Structure 1
Amino acid sequence: MNEASILITLAGVHFLALMSPGPDVALVVQNATRYGRQTGVYIALGLSFGILLHSILSITGISYLVHQQPVLFALLQLCGGSYLLYLGFGALKATITHWNLSVERSSSSQKALLLSNKRQAFSRGFMTNILNPKALVFFVSLMSTLVPASMSVTGKGIALLILWSLSLAWFACLAWMLSTERLQAKLNQASRYIDLLCGVIFSLIGLTIVWQSLTSFIH
């Protein structure tokens, strides 16, 4: 298989993985619907740079070494699962706190967050992706299967660019679609339910990862 075919296959597999439900998608959905387009796009930017870092670590073999060290990988799982639990409990707390807020108060608080939340949105997106041990395993498998060690430096650079740009484009488009004026008006009415759903997703995934890490420590 030549490099062009490898890159096309890599792009296809990665794009399908991006569309699958998970913490990254839930984070974009929750924040774009509650805080608007700008916050959603900065979340997308953070996620894409997390994916870029995972890709670099995998293509250089560092992630593979981490994956081969049971204690180190279990510690990463514990950190990642704990962070997802933190996001989940935060979303559930926000649901309870804002359950009785009026639409006007909710809207004004969103505007305030929109003006001062760029760095926080980027950081949350980046940390959510980079601390996800499932992402580490995915990219180790993806790179070891589709990117041969003999691939040229230019080819590997293009592969990294493809993974980053596809990630940014997908998550930014998702944030953009969820924050159009017509859809935003409808989603604002359901924002508490979206927070509740995302909180449950984060919490369940976080609990599963923490349980797996603790189990690996015991064994």
Structure 2
Amino acid sequence: MGVLRVSDLVELLPAIVALTLLSVSPGLDTLLTVRNAARGGVADGVVTSFGICSGLFVHAVLSALGISVLLMQSAVLFGALKMAGAAYLTWLGWGSLRQALRGRGQQAAADSVQAVTQQQVSFWRCGREGLLSNLLNPKTIIFYMAFLPQFIDPAGAVLPQALLLAAIHFVIAMSWQSLLALLTCRVRGWVRLPMLRRLCHGVTGLVMVALGVRLALAKI
């Protein structure tokens, strides 16, 4: 595409609209960002979002190079990717369920200690959780394989165009998820209440496990 012109931006408008709708649609990315923000604060949510959005560039490169086509054509490779994503999602859900069960019967003083401990989760862990949840999601591969060709000029260099679309998606998704992290922490005082926090972890864990099982059983 070279240097962006006004005409290029007009042509990209449908892509921007589609990427915006995709980003604001509730899903695993939203769930993971909100969970980590409630666990450790705005910074944890933003770092999680950064990890999630960084995976978009990997998907863009794979799509541009045609590797995703090979995965989609190989039942064994694609099935392995799907099961890996389902297992990781279920593992994240189980972690939230353990936090919900561990909080049962704790007193207010112990609860305060736990709140401090939860804030000590490393940024590396948050970013890693976000990145892996994105890379191990086969639906993201399918989306990029179906989406990118509609907005790429085959007469030009494919990889730079794919990376440009991924960059646009990165900015949109990162902005939205960071806003969610901020809003989550605005009501975090409620979530710190023992019963509500356990309920939050429990519901989040159940949804993640259900999504993992659904992904494992789905014929994508």
TM-score using structure 2 length: 0.86
**Relative to structure 2, which stretch is displaced further, 99-108 or 39-48?**
99-108
Amino acid at match of 1:68: Q
Q: Report the alpha carbon displacement of residue 151 of structure 1 after superposing the two structures with TM.
A: 4.4
Q: How does 1:151-170 map to 2 (within 5 A)?
A: 151-152=156-157, 155-170=161-176
The Cα shift of 1:44 comes to 0.9
The CA distance in 2 between the partners of 1:72 and 1:146, in whole Å, is 27
1:112-151 paired onto structure 2 within 5 Å: 112-151=117-156
* Match runs of 1:194-209 below 5 Å: 194-209=200-215
For the 8 Å contact 1:92–1:195, the answer to whether it is kept is: yes
Matched, 1:184 2:188: yes
Residue 76 of structure 1 contacts residue 133 of structure 1 at CA under 8 Å; is this kept in 2?
A: yes
User: Partner amino acid for 2:211?
Assistant: I
Aligned partners of 1:66 and 1:73 also within 8 Å: yes
Partners of 2:53 and 2:131 within 8 A in 1 = yes
**Mean Cα deviation higher: 136-145 or 111-120:** 111-120
| Cα distance in 1 between the residues matched to 2:22 and 2:217 | 24
Q: CA deviation at 1:155?
A: 4.1
Aligned-pair identity in percent equals 24
Could you tell me which residue of structure 2 aligns to residue 82 of structure 1? 87
Structure 1 residue runs of 5 or longer lacking an equivalent are none
Shift of 1:117: 1.2
1:63–1:105 CA distance, 2 compared to 1 (3 A): farther
Contact 2:40 2:120 in 1 (8 A): no
**Structure 1 CA distance for aligned equivalents of residues 165 and 65 of structure 2:** 13
RMSD: 2.1
Aligned residue pairs: how many? 211
> Do the aligned partners of 1:3 and 1:151 also contact (CA within 8 Å) in 2?
no
Deviates more, 1:106-115 or 1:156-165: 106-115
Supply the distance in 1 between the matched residues of 2:75 and 2:65 (Cα, whole angstroms): 20
Compared CA separation, residues 67 and 21, structure 1 to 2 (3 A): same
| Inter-CA distance 97–64: structure 2 relative to 1 (3 Å threshold) | same
Deviation per CA, 1:23-54: give whole Å up to 9, x if none: 11111111111221121111111111112222
- Aligned pairs for 1:32-51 (under 5 A) are 32-51=37-56
- 1:28-107 pair list within 5 angstroms: 28-107=33-112
Partner SS state of residue 179, structure 1:
helix
TM-score by length of 1: 0.86
Amino acid at match of 2:207: I
Determine the C-alpha separation between the residues in 1 that align with 2:151 and 2:115. Answer: 43
Deviation, structure 1 residue 87:
0.9
Separation of aligned partners in 1, 2:42 and 2:143: 29
